[in-house]
Amino acid sequence: MSTQAYSLHGLKLSYFTGKLETYLRAKGIAFEYVEMDSADFRACAARTGVAQMPQLGCPDGAWLTDTTPIIAHFEAGTAGPSFRPRTPLARFASLLLEDAFDEWLWRPALYYRWAFAEDARLMSSQIARTLLRDVPGPHGLRTWFILNRQRRTYLKQDGVTRETAPLIEEQFHWLLGVLETIFSKRSYLMGERPVEADFGLMGPFFRHFSYDPTPAALLREKAPHTLAWVSRMWATGPEAHAAAPLPGDVPNDLGPLLQRIGADYLPYLALNAAAVENRQRFVSYEERGAHWKLPASPYRRACLGELQGAFAGLTAEERAAALAWLGEGGACLAGTPAGSVTAIPPGPGKPLDRLWQSVLR
């Protein structure tokens, strides 16, 4: 357990701040929480070169950002319970799930926060009160700015339309059903100790789905075991985790999650990577009967590269097992885009507003 404190800069309603805060607590890493205002946001961005949250100041003066490599850094060389599965195939499954929970569940998390009036009013007021507390002007004006900016960025510019909104809601309801089956039988995704994928899942569930009024009501009503998992992840410290065995197998009931990741998420990552490489602003495709048009994301191109590298490091037998979970979409991990989604030539569009694009990361 660390004795010197790190400084965790973020917001208490932030997707990725909640993910990292949960991990540090579980690992037994001492840290001081610093609530960002706009000046601290800019100062942290100047230190790391990335305008996002959270940002982690280290006791030796170094700075870290991006929760996935931060967790990998601590897993590789820090005392405390390990949260990495014992076997290569289980480690790959955990990495894949963690990445999908970070990037694939981002849209439903932001959709439920900004598409529903009660949630949007509450969250915009909280951001105005916290992140923008050092910005001159009345609270109501700061709230109005946040509300309109977030709805523009995370709804209109992120593929949420009348056509796609029902599919985003379907994804969340389907996910609750799958997770409820899992958490009714065991404490964590792979066993009785969390793995990296559990911390990835905490991003959308802790500070969005269990926090914002509309999804939280659905969670209480439809998925009480999943809600209990959220509380268990937050409440359990390193001593309890160290006593539980590290998982080495991939439970069969993770199959529906892995299959849908193979059908929906991995083909999107491949199309997004092609769009980035071709310097296109948007990636457009058909999925589940709907037309999606999303900003091309260099970060998600890098995510695909990480997954492809991890997949390449498996044995032939392990790769075959992974492809059996993922179906045709698994071909994307070998660098060959699958045909389960159909690409559409991108149309004209305005570039994304880059101001605080990753403000909640």
Model confidence pLDDT, tens digit, residues 205-242: 999 999 999 999 999 999 999 999 999 999 989 998 98
Q: How would residue 3 be classed by pLDDT, with cut points 50, 70 and 90?
A: low
Of the three residues 43, 58, 77, the one that is the final residue of a domain is: 77
- The answer to whether residue 342 scores a pLDDT higher than 60 is no
Kindly state whether residue 83 falls inside one of the protein's structural domains. no
Q: Are 344 and 145 in contact (CB under 8 A)?
A: no
Q: How would residue 14 be classed by pLDDT, with cut points 50, 70 and 90?
A: very high
Q: Which domain holds residue 296?
A: 253-344
Residues whose CB is less than 8 angstroms from the CB of residue 155 and which lie 6 or more positions away in sequence, other chains included: 110, 111, 114, 115
Check whether residue 271 and residue 290 sit in a common domain. yes
- The answer to whether residue 353 scores a pLDDT higher than 60 is no
Residues whose CB is less than 8 angstroms from the CB of residue 199 and which lie 6 or more positions away in sequence, other chains included: 19, 22, 23, 26, 67, 71, 83, 98, 233
Q: Are 359 and 52 in contact (CB under 8 A)?
A: yes
pLDDT at 348 (0 to 100): 33
CB atoms < 10 A from the CB of 31, how many? 18
Distance CA 332, CA 337 (A): 5
Kindly state whether residue 269 falls inside one of the protein's structural domains. yes
Check whether residue 146 and residue 237 sit in a common domain. yes
pLDDT at 79 (0 to 100): 83
pLDDT at 337 (0 to 100): 55
- The answer to whether residue 340 scores a pLDDT higher than 50 is no
Beta pairing partners, 282: 295
The residue count for the chain: 361
Provide Rg for the chain, Cα atoms: 20
Q: Are 218 and 175 in contact (CB under 8 A)?
A: no
Q: How would residue 42 be classed by pLDDT, with cut points 50, 70 and 90?
A: very high
pLDDT tens column, 286-335: 999 999 999 999 999 999 999 999 999 999 999 999 999 999 999 999 87
Q: What percent of the chain has pLDDT over 70?
A: 92
Whole-number average pLDDT of the chain: 91
Of the candidates 13, 122, 93, 132, the residue with the CA atom closest to the CA atom of residue 333: 93
**Helix or strand (DSSP H, E) at 238:** helix 238-243
Q: Which two tokens stand for residue 95?
A: 């990495």
- The answer to whether residue 359 scores a pLDDT higher than 60 is no
Exposure letters 61-75 (e unless 16+ CB within 10 A, then b): eebbbbbbebbbebe
Of the candidates 195, 192, 185, the residue with the CA atom closest to the CA atom of residue 87: 195
Q: 3-state class of 44 per DSSP? A: helix
Mean pLDDT of 192-198: 97
Check whether residue 122 and residue 227 sit in a common domain. yes
- The answer to whether residue 351 scores a pLDDT higher than 50 is no
Check whether residue 95 and residue 155 sit in a common domain. yes
Check whether residue 339 and residue 282 sit in a common domain. yes
What separation, in Å, do the N-terminal and C-terminal C-alpha atoms of the chain show? Answer: 26
- The answer to whether residue 31 scores a pLDDT higher than 60 is yes
Check whether residue 107 and residue 200 sit in a common domain. yes
Q: Are 123 and 149 in contact (CB under 8 A)?
A: no
Check whether residue 164 and residue 222 sit in a common domain. yes
Domains held by the chain: number: 3
Mean pLDDT of 161-182: 97
Of the candidates 266, 316, 320, 313, the residue with the CA atom closest to the CA atom of residue 88: 313
Comparing 27-41, 56-70, 342-356, which segment has the lowest mean pLDDT?
342-356
Of the three residues 247, 275, 303, the one that is the final residue of a domain is: 247
Kindly state whether residue 184 falls inside one of the protein's structural domains. yes
- The answer to whether residue 361 scores a pLDDT higher than 70 is no
Q: What percent of the chain has pLDDT over 90?
A: 88
pLDDT at 78 (0 to 100): 79
Kindly state whether residue 60 falls inside one of the protein's structural domains. yes
Kindly state whether residue 351 falls inside one of the protein's structural domains. no
Mean pLDDT of 125-137: 97
Instruction: Characterise 314 by phi-psi region: left (phi > 0), alpha (psi -120 to 50), beta (else).
Output: beta
Q: How would residue 285 be classed by pLDDT, with cut points 50, 70 and 90?
A: very high
Q: Which pTM value belongs to this model?
A: 0.92
Kindly state whether residue 357 falls inside one of the protein's structural domains. no
